[in-house]
Amino acid sequence: MRTYEASIGYTTGGTEGRISYFHNNFDNKIQPLPQPSGLFIFGNRGGATVQGVEAEVKRRVGLAGAAYANYTYQKTEDAETHRELADVAAHKGNVGVDLPLLKHVNVNANLFLIGKKPRALGDPRKDTPGYALLDVTVIAGELFKGLEVRGSVHNLLDKEYADPLPATVPGDLPREGRHVMVEALYRF
């Protein structure tokens, strides 16, 4: 793999920002290879180019909070077919806030956005649609000396979404709905 990157950033007052360009060329991508029997096996063949732009900004809110956003646009191209790579979204990003509520309580809310994912060459189905997921985490630190408790809700709005599967598999891979996780960490 050959990777080239260029980036420029700035900091002023309570705001930080960065914009980056990237260009990746790689060989021997893993892909299904047709066999004389009509079946496919996975092997290394061909290559691809991925290039794009990433932009991010973060703004301090109050004494310890922050609001942030980032966005990535990437253009992909298969070296053999000259088509965009299957299952790779051109657009994705995040918008969020990280805020202290009380002396030992912090809340993070993050909205993840991703664009449609194109199908593989020969797959007659429509592209997999884009989606947005909202995650929220509450962290209570130092409840007792050394104890931290964290509660997270992934996909808070219970968005139905799926990842693309090859045309030989009916449907797509449904992803998890809303799920909750509670963690406790004790430091000695």
For 120-131, write each residue's pLDDT tens digit.
Answer: 888 999 999 999
Q: CB-based burial of residue 108 (10 Å sphere; 0-12 exposed, 13-18 middle, 19+ buried)?
A: middle
Alpha carbons 184 and 188: distance in angstroms, whole number = 13
| b (16+ CB within 10 A) / e for 36-65 | eeeeeeeeeeeebbbebebebebeeeeeeb
**Looking at the domain 2-186, which fold is it?**
Maltoporin; Chain A (2.40.170)
For 51-60, write each residue's pLDDT tens digit.
Answer: 999 999 999 9
Structure letter (DSSP) for residue 14: T
Q: What is the pLDDT of residue 32?
A: 73
For 59-105, write each residue's pLDDT tens digit.
Answer: 999 888 999 999 999 999 998 889 999 999 999 999 999 999 888 99
Find the mean pLDDT for residues 9-29.
94
Find the mean pLDDT for residues 13-32.
90
Alpha carbons 34 and 29: distance in angstroms, whole number = 15
pLDDT band at 43 (very low <50, low <70, confident <90, very high): confident
Where do the domains of the chain lie? 2-186
User: pTM here?
Assistant: 0.86
Structure letter (DSSP) for residue 84: P
For 148-187, write each residue's pLDDT tens digit.
Answer: 999 999 999 999 999 999 888 889 999 999 999 999 999 8
Residue found under tokens 């060989």: 27
Q: What is the pLDDT of residue 114?
A: 98
Residues with Cβ within 8 Å of 35's Cβ and at least 6 positions away in sequence, in order, are 41
Q: Decide: 6 and 20 in contact? Cβ < 8 Å.
A: yes
pLDDT band at 10 (very low <50, low <70, confident <90, very high): very high
Tokens of 42: 């996975």
- State how beta strands 147-154 and 173-174 pair: unpaired
Q: Decide: 78 and 62 in contact? Cβ < 8 Å.
A: no
pLDDT > 80? residue 49: yes
pLDDT > 90? residue 34: no
Measured CA to CA in angstroms, residue 187 lies from 33, 126, 139 at distances of: 50, 50, 15
pLDDT band at 15 (very low <50, low <70, confident <90, very high): very high
